[in-house]
Amino acid sequence: MSMSRARVARRIAAAAAYGGGGIGVLGGVVVGLVLTEVSLARKVVGGSDAVKPAADGRYGFAFALRNGQQPLRLAFLGDSTAAGQGVHRPSQTPGALLASGLAAVAERPVDLRNVASCGAQSTDLERQVSLLLADPRMRPDVCVIMIGANDVTHRMPPAESVRLLSDAVRRLRESGCAVVVGTCPDLGTIEPVYQPLRWIARRLSRQLAAAQTIAVVEQGGRTVSLGDLLGPEFEARPRELFGPDNYHPSAEGYATAAMAVLPTLCAALGLWPEEDRPEAARQEGYLPVARAAAEAAAEGGTEVTAARGPWALLLRRRRRLPESQPPTPIPTPET
């Protein structure tokens, strides 16, 4: 299965690179049926016009008082998952959780700016990136992108979705920003979607996640698979890991995702205590990019980063997540 997914992912990524259209991975009628059901489920369980919790601000402020270090700048881009829709407290959003975790590991304050938009597709990434890069004084040190679910439900051709993400990562990398992408989540976990359509939704989600991984790694970013990480846990404990709308994660669900991303986020800045050295006991190693992408899509919490030539490094880092604290307002830069 992983080899088949690797081939499809490579085809999608290649089509994206050469400006091609969509790659037909399933019959059009079947795909239309499953995506219609997912979209209807989404309308039943919750809309996309909710206001995201306001989590922007400074985290780890005590470190600035203690050692006077300048803050790191962390930005979040993407859709409602990146925005933290489904929870009400800013401290429960993935941005706040990761900002607190990054501050604790770096022992430096972290300024969080979240430009993610509820309901966004990859077409919105160009706007979001432009917002972040508009003021050179406020450009981020590292960005986290979570995108893809709405691309699937709105039937965006996967090659177009991947091309848009690749363009966003390229722009951020050219600006000197490290990039970590949480790939497309598993749409097969949405409760109103039933078998066999649930299996098809899962397959579409993982194929897009694998193709996203190839494109991001080729642009110098890192990816973390979220789909399988949340999938089995959401199916086993939907009342705990889904929020009140049964579509977006709960506070515990977001914490599970943040725990998976934190080590990769820190490693992208050279802050994680573990070296990027594969351990055989954890089934880590160097693989062709497409195969690494396929394996990551099948197992949540798996990181893929570029190695030499056509190879990528697949890692399964240990996860830790310090408790999030309320943000402190960021001082306005002097003009």
What residues are labeled active site?
80, 245, 248
The residues that bridge with 73 in the sheet, in sequence order, are 111
The candidate with the shortest Cα–Cα distance to 293, out of 283, 302, 284, 281, is 302
Q: How far apart are CA 93 and CA 53, in angstroms?
A: 7
Q: What count of residues does the chain have?
A: 335
Q: Between the CA of residue 224 and those of 18, 23, 96, 168, 209, what are the distances in Å?
A: 25, 24, 18, 17, 10
Q: Are strands 72-78 and 110-114 parallel, antiparallel or unpaired?
A: parallel
The span from the CA of 184 to the CA of 191, in Å, is 17
DSSP string, 249-281: B-HHHHHHHHHHHHHHHHHHTT--SS-S---GG
Which residue, among 86, 33, 55, has the nearest Cα to 230 in the 3D structure? Answer: 86
Task: Please check whether residue 213 is in contact with residue 296, taking contact to mean a CB–CB distance below 8 angstroms.
Answer: yes
CA distances from 235 to 46, 241, 334 (A): 19, 9, 49
Nearest alpha carbon to residue 257 among 225, 232, 284, 283: 225
Q: Which residue has the tokens 């800045």?
A: 269
Longest Cα separation, the chain: 61
Q: How far apart are alpha carbons 204 and 223 in whole angstroms?
A: 18
